[in-house]
A = this chain, B = another copy of it.
């Protein structure tokens, strides 16, 4: 008895994969993919294969590859390409822990997930925890999602639990850093929704003794400026993910630079900034989490001089 295949309308795909209806239709016309079936009303119906392929395509495009290079490609070629990129990002073989945690997530054992994370945090210490566990885990979860191995809500839940753990840790840390260290304001720019990165960074900063003020995601520049002023901020830290349009990064940073007094430093991080060439003056770029500690030490020296 063939199970009735789960199909998706164009609207569902739009909200689940994050590609707008118009774009889905255009791709179909331009690249012959996706080529959904039709129901009796003539409406597009996408099957699971197409949806997961679209997810993969979305991820590849988010890393900077142009649609024309991936949308018409065969499923096999896509996977090959993904592997190639994956290797670049992957590197380590720390994946055992990630696998265990991922299984927790798949089994919906949230309490277990939370406990294990907390346990790892205690065992590894915050620094190692973030770099060796949280960062790869985040990557794996994204990967699993694009392969249809996780549902949207499962990704949400993961982010939820992780945020909880990280914020708790930061609260504890920040309360001890009332005086002495630099005051850092952290957020993401408008239209940048990914906040796990900057949250991880917050923790690393707090670990180094900074007083961190975390503004959540998507703070308009004006408000960053006013907050920096009223909170006597020393450093404003922004995070750009890979999916953030590259050409918008430099202008945003320049604009922010103009809004802030020059004694306030601007630090930009995240996978999105690793490829930018033009660096506006008065700006520190920290493409990887590992670079945070170093940048921090350097800042301390500058200040003492």
Contact = CB atoms under 8 A, between A and B. Distances in A.
Contacts of A107: 226, 230
Given A151-B220, A153-B219, A213 B164 contact: no
Interface string A183-224: 000000010000000000000000000000101111110010
Contacts of A153: 190, 218-220, 223
Contact of A227 (B110, B156, B217): B110
Contacts of A223: 108, 153
Interface residues of A, number: 27
A111 B233 CA distance: 12
Given A151-B220, A164-B167, A171-B168, A213 B111 contact: yes
A290 interface: no
A214 B246 CA distance: 37
Interface in A101-116: 107-111
Contacts of A109: 230
A168 B215 CA distance: 17
A167 to B, nearest CB: 7
A3 to B, nearest CB: 16
A213 B230 CA distance: 38
A160 interface: yes
A151 B220 CA distance: 10
A157 interface: yes
A42 B226 CA distance: 38
A168 B171 CA distance: 10
A156 B217 contact: yes
A108 to B, nearest CB: 5
A230 B220 CA distance: 43
A53 to B, nearest CB: 23
A167 B231 CA distance: 24
Contacts of A217: 156
Given A107-B226, A108-B230, A168-B171, 15 more contacts: A107-B230, A108-B223, A108-B227, A109-B230, A110-B213, A110-B227, A111-B231, A151-B220, A153-B190, A153-B218, A153-B219, A153-B223, A156-B218, A157-B219, A160-B216
7 contacts: A107-B226, A108-B223, A108-B230, A111-B213, A153-B218, A157-B219, A168-B168
